[in-house]
Amino acid sequence: MKRITPLLLAVVLACAMICPALAAEAPEGTAPVRPAALYPTEVVETETGGGRRLEKGYLLPAADNPANIPTADFEREGYRYTLLDVTRQDYTESETREHTETVTLDSGTKDMDKIMPQLAATREVTTEDGFTGILTLDTASITVEAAGYGSSSRTVTATRTYPNLSDADSSLIPKTITDGGRTLTLADVQWLEAGEFYNATASYTGTATSKYATGYVITAEYAGEVVKTISGEMIYTAVFSGTPINAPAQNEPGPDDGNNDSMETPPPEQTEPGTSGGIGLKWLLVLPIGAGAAGLAFLGKFLLKKYKAKKEWKEYTT
C-alpha cells in the first residue's frame, strides 16, 4: 500500500496540470484583443507611374503609442497598398503677445544722469502663464517721486532803519515785519541822535521751516513681445504604395492576332485565423494528458502484478 500512494499522487498531479490548461484554452473563433483604432487626420492620394501613392497623417499626443498606427497591407478601389515608410514630425505651435512690466527702485537723488545707470536697457522675463521674452526699457516712462519728506527749521534775521524820529521811543518802531513771506518779531533797536531827530536801526528775528525729500522712488516700464510654445504632439505619416490588384483586361483577339493566352491574377490565399497561434497551446495540452495516461498505465500494471502474486501465494498455502 505504501508503494501505491506515490503513484496515486503522480496521477492526481497530472490531472491538476491538465485542468488549468483546458480552462485557459480560448474558444475557437475568438478574435484577439486589439488596441483602440487610430484614425488619420489627413489622407492624401497621388498617382505615380503605374500605381498610386497614399499618405495617411496621424496627430498623436506624446502619451499615445505610434505602434498602434495601422501598417498592414490593405485593398482600396482595385489597388493593394503596402507600407513603404512611417515619418515623424514635431508639431509645435507658439502664441505671441505684447507684454509690459513695471519696475521700481530706490534712489538717493533725482538727477537723471545718476539714475539712468541704475536701469538696465533690456530685461528678460517669464510670466506666470508661461510666456517668455526680452523687454526693452521705455525711457519716456521713467518717473521720479519723493519717497518721503522731512522738515528742518532755522533762525532768520532782518534789519530795518527808521530815520528822523521825533524821539527815541520804541513805541515808534513796528513790533513785527514780513520778510520773504515770513513774519519776524522785533528783537532789538539801536538809536542814533541826529540833531533834533533820532535814527533807529531795528533788528527782527524769526524761524524759517523747510521741507526736504528723504529719498526718491524711480518707476520705469519695460515693453516688448513674449512668446509661449505649445508642444506635446507629433505628426506621423504612413506612406503606402499601391499596385493594381488585377492586370488590365485585354481586347478580344482578332483573326490575325496569334496571342490567345490570357493571364488572370489569382486572388491572394486566405489564411485561416487561429491556425498558427493554436499549435503551441495544443502541445501544452497533449503533454500533461500523455503524462497522466502513462501514470495510469503504470499503476494498472503494478496492481495487476500485485494481484497475481497474492493469488499464487494463496493457492500455494492451501
pLDDT in tens, 191-204: 998 888 999 999 99
For residue 220, tell me if it sits in a domain.
Answer: yes
Both 280 and 224 in one domain: the answer is no
pLDDT at residue 282 is higher than 70: no
Both 289 and 213 in one domain: the answer is no
Both 218 and 284 in one domain: the answer is no
pLDDT of residue 42: 92
* Residue that terminates a domain, selected from 231, 259, 283: 231
Both 5 and 107 in one domain: the answer is no
Q: How far apart are CA 156 and CA 190, in angstroms?
A: 19
Both 223 and 295 in one domain: the answer is no
pLDDT tens digits for range 58-74:
988 877 888 889 999 99
Both 227 and 98 in one domain: the answer is yes
Both 106 and 220 in one domain: the answer is yes
Q: How many domains would you assign to the chain?
A: 2
Phi, psi of 40 (to 5 degrees): -70, 150
* Residue that terminates a domain, selected from 173, 208, 231: 231
For residue 284, tell me if it sits in a domain.
Answer: yes
pLDDT tens digits for range 86-134:
999 887 778 899 999 999 999 999 899 999 999 999 999 999 998 999 9
Q: How far apart are CA 175 and CA 205, in angstroms?
A: 11
Both 128 and 199 in one domain: the answer is yes
Both 18 and 130 in one domain: the answer is no
For residue 99, tell me if it sits in a domain.
Answer: yes
For residue 267, tell me if it sits in a domain.
Answer: no
Both 102 and 220 in one domain: the answer is yes
pLDDT of residue 196: 85
User: Residue 292 sits in which domain range?
Assistant: 1-26+274-318
Q: How far apart are CA 64 and CA 39, in angstroms?
A: 13
Q: Which residue from 47, 98, 35 is spatially nearest to 71, judged by alpha carbons?
A: 35
Residues contacting residue 311 through CB under 8 Å, at least 6 positions apart: none
Q: Is 123 exposed, middle or buried (0-12, 13-18, 19+ CB in 10 A)?
A: middle
pTM: 0.42
pLDDT of residue 101: 95
For residue 108, tell me if it sits in a domain.
Answer: yes
pLDDT at residue 263 is higher than 80: no
Both 286 and 175 in one domain: the answer is no
* Residue that terminates a domain, selected from 199, 214, 231: 231
Q: Grid coordinates representing 206?
A: 524769526
Both 148 and 208 in one domain: the answer is yes
Q: Grid coordinates representing 115?
A: 539714475
Cα 156 from chain centroid (whole Å): 72
Greatest alpha-carbon span in the chain = 193
